Amino acid sequence: MENTIFSFRQTGQIFRMINDDTVVTLVSHTHPDGDAIGSTTAFAQWLSYTCHDAAVVLPDAVPQSLSFLDTGFTDLLTYDRDRSAVESRLARTDLLICMDFNAFSRAGDLCGILCGMTCPKILIDHHLNPDRDSFDVVISKTDISSTSELTFWILANAPGMLPDLGNMPHGVCEALLAGMTTDTNNFANSVYPSTFAMASKLLALGVDRDGVLSRIYNMYRENRLRLMGEMLTGMKILPHGVACMILDTDTMEKYDFRDGESEGFVNMPLAIADVRMSIFLKADRDYWRVSVRSKAGTSANLCAKTYFNGGGHEQAAGGKIFYSEAGDGTVQSALRFIEKATDEFFSRI
């Protein structure tokens, strides 16, 4: 049986950089999502199974809804909770593997430390415009569903992998399936022939997809659905087919909001025929966190890059609007900012 439909020139290079005593640390982006956590924990588990010292380091905590991915099989340290453990782990790291982000600026408060590390650095990512100069080896592929899928094909090429992938550990398979599922919104977006091939191989290996889906989608708190209702009721439809929903701190308090609970809200307004782009704002420290989704023909990436200090993929991007840019931190000023930015964006294209 053919192992893989991709073989990356750099795959051999990666595995040659990992010796028996290499201390490997896998890192991902701020506010980690299913793909960030799935891809890093999967790679770390695979390294542990093959008797390597591997751990995952993330800038922020794993949201409760994704905590099932932290199986305890390998260490998962978060900088917001355990600064000294993260700092000592990074200090003794021989190889840094950065996953699901394209530049160190996406690593939040870890950015300075990671940039300053002198050990070899590998990037494994699927976002546009990777910062190639900051890494020794770059595996970047944008026409793929997720970093978890990319990791699947890399591991399928790992030394010692059996032709039928029968020795890919079960935990690795589940984490990769979960990461791909969340990034494609359960096979709704960014799905390629290779994505179905990956899913097919994982099912053949006996992965419990129903169990994975149930842990991702059927374990929310009631409050999340009540909040979703309030967001959809308050949704504004702006000119040019732009839908906008805003989650401010008062509403967060009302629903005792937990990190990660607004995941997926931004996709919903695209169900409206006339909506071309959906924007979701969530209050953060001194800025609004922005999520942008668009239908084919409209670039969420360009809009996020031009107006929201961010970027991402063509149809799914994100960024920030600092309260000072919008005038102040009120919902009204944020809405005016979005209306002006999107009016300019759609008038230009």
Give the residues lining the site for ligand 5GP (CB under 6 A). Answer: 33, 106, 127, 291, 310-313, 316-320
Give Cβ neighbours of residue 210 (< 8 Å, ≥ 6 apart).
none
* Binding partner selected for residue 261 from ligand 5GP, Mn ion, none, CB under the kind-specific 5 to 8 Å limit: none
In angstroms, give the least distance from the CB of 308 to ligand 5GP: 8
> Residue 82 in contact with residue 59, Cβ under 8 Å?
no
* CA–CA gap between residue 342 and residue 308 (Å, rounded): 11
Residue 77 parent element (H or E): strand 75-78
Q: List, as own/partner pairs, every contact residues 293-297 make where C-beta atoms lie below 8 angstroms and the sequence separation is at least 24, other chains included.
A: 293/266, 293/267, 294/270, 295/270
In angstroms, give the least distance from the CB of 14 to ligand 5GP: 22
* CA–CA gap between residue 183 and residue 196 (Å, rounded): 14
Give 93 or 149: the residue with its C-beta nearer to ligand 5GP.
149
* CA–CA gap between residue 277 and residue 153 (Å, rounded): 32
The pairing of strands 311-312 and 23-27 is unpaired
Residue nearest to ligand 5GP (CB): 318
The pairing of strands 23-27 and 121-125 is unpaired
Give 179 or 312: the residue with its C-beta nearer to ligand 5GP.
312
Q: Decide: is 183 part of the binding site for Mn ion (CB under 5 A).
A: yes
In angstroms, give the least distance from the CB of 270 to ligand 5GP: 13
Choices 71-79, 165-173, 180-188, 248-256 (CB under 5 A): range interacting with Mn ion: 180-188
The pairing of strands 316-322 and 287-294 is antiparallel
* CA–CA gap between residue 51 and residue 111 (Å, rounded): 29
In angstroms, give the least distance from the CB of 42 to Mn ion: 13
In angstroms, give the least distance from the CB of 38 to Mn ion: 9
Write out the binding residues for Mn ion, residues 11-70 only, by CB under 5 A: 35
Q: Is the dihedral of CA 225, 295, 126, 109 positive or negative?
A: negative
Q: Decide: is 149 part of the binding site for Mn ion (CB under 5 A).
A: no
Choices 176-184, 229-237, 287-295, 318-326 (CB under 5 A): range interacting with Mn ion: 176-184
Give 43 or 308: the residue with its C-beta nearer to ligand 5GP.
308
Give me the amino acid identity at 139: I
In angstroms, give the least distance from the CB of 146 to Mn ion: 5
* Binding partner selected for residue 34 from Mn ion, ligand 5GP, none, CB under the kind-specific 5 to 8 Å limit: none
Q: Decide: is 125 part of the binding site for Mn ion (CB under 5 A).
A: no
In angstroms, give the least distance from the CB of 127 to ligand 5GP: 6
Residues near Mn ion (CB under 5 A) are 35, 100, 146-147, 183
